[in-house]
Amino acid sequence: MTEVLKRGFPGMKSVKDMPIVQDAPPPGGFPAIRIERRLPSTGPTGVAIFAGLAAIMGYGFYKLHEQRQEKRFEADEILTVRKIVHPVLQAEWDLRYLEHLKKEREEEAKVMKNVPGWKVGESTTRHRWLPPLESWDKRPLI
């Protein structure tokens, strides 16, 4: 229908009857085509990540140093207290040992009273024996 209105007759007799239309760019030219690779920024840069991790590690080492200083101070305090209390504890252990030795000798005298020539408290072996050093809490003193 539009052909009739434009040309006055229906259909086309030949392709050559068509008007020549040349394809041309718009006035001012086509816009530039972006062909380079441009990716959007997806996060912090490597330098920023490195700086952040270095700051976190520095803070961690600082706290570790503080904790070690505090632990060293507490250990020194415990050691000082143990050094102060050690003579008192040693005196108690010595008294306990002497009481035990006295009971053992009384028991030995009671058991061996019928053996002629037996001397109470005399060693039956020829080696040197030292009393055991027992701690009341089974931990080293110093």
Burial of 11-20, coded b for 16+ CB within 10 Å and e otherwise, reads eeeeeeeeee
Question: To which residue do tokens 């305090």 refer?
Answer: 77
| Span of 11-20, 50-59, 127-136 with lowest mean pLDDT | 127-136
Give the tokens for residue 45.
């840069």
For residue 68, give the amino acid letter: R
Alpha-carbon Rg for the chain in angstroms: 53
Stretch 87-106: mean pLDDT, rounded?
Answer: 91
Mean pLDDT, to the nearest integer, of 6-35?
77
Global pTM reads 0.43
Kindly state the average pLDDT of the residues 90-98. 90
C-alpha span between 109 and 115 (Å, rounded):
10
